[in-house]
Amino acid sequence: MAEVSVIMTSYNKPQYVANSIKAILNQTFADFELFIMDDNSNEETIRAIEPFLKDPRVKFFQSNIKTTKQRVEKVRYAALINEALEMCSGNYISYATDDNCYRPNRLKTMVNYLEKHQNVNIVYSASLTNHINLSNEVLKTQVRPTKGIVSIAPCQIDHCSIMHRQSILPIIKEKFGSFWDENPEFYRIGDARFFWRLNQYWDFYPIREILDDNYITELSIHHKLANEKQNEFVQMLPTQRTCKELREELRAMKKRN
Interacting residues with Mg ion (CB under 5 A): 99, 220
The correct pick among 5, 6, 7, 11 for binding ligand TYD (CB under 6 A) is 11
Kind and range of the H or E element at 73? helix 68-73
Q: Is 191 a catalytic residue?
A: yes
Using rule CB under 6 A, residue 39 touches ligand TYD? yes
Q: Which is nearer to Mg ion, 114 or 132 (CB)?
A: 132
- CA 59 from chain centre, in angstroms, equals 17
- Minimum distance, C-beta of residue 202 to Mg ion, in the bound complex (Å): 25
State the Cα–Cα distance between residues 21 and 3, nearest whole angstrom: 18
Of these partners, Mg ion, ligand TYD, none, which one is at the site of residue 20 (CB under 5 to 8 Å by kind)? none
Among 76, 144, 164, 197, binds ligand TYD (CB under 6 A): 76
Q: Is 139 helix (H, G, I), strand (E, B) or coil?
A: strand
**Residues in binding contact with ligand TYD, number by CB under 6 A:** 14
> What letter would DSSP give residue 57?
T
C-beta closer to ligand TYD: residue 10 or 121: 10
Residue closer to Mg ion (CB basis): 10 or 82: 10
Residues 23 and 52: beta-carbon distance below 8 Å: no
Q: At closest approach, how far in Å is the CB of 35 from ligand TYD?
A: 12
Query: 213-242: which residues touch ligand TYD (CB under 6 A)?
Result: 220-222
Site track 78-97 with ligand TYD (rule: CB under 6 A), x = hit = --x----------------x
CA contacts within 13 A on the Cβ side of 201: 19
| Active-site residue, selected from the candidate residues 38, 99, 191, 213 | 191
Between CA 113 and CA 146, with CA 22 as vertex, the angle to 5 degrees is 35
* Residue (139 or 252) nearer to Mg ion, CB: 139
d(CA 155, CA 158): 7
Query: By CB under 6 A, what part of segment 121-180 binds ligand TYD?
Result: none
DSSP state, 123?
E
Beta-carbon contacts of 151 under 8 Å, excluding residues fewer than 6 positions away, are 199, 203, 204, 250, 254
Cα–Cα–Cα angle for 151, 34, 156, nearest 5°?
Answer: 20
> What residue type is 9 in one-letter code?
T
**Which residues are known catalytic residues?**
191
Q: Where does this chain bind ligand TYD (CB under 6 A)? A: 9-11, 39, 71, 76-77, 80, 97-99, 220-222
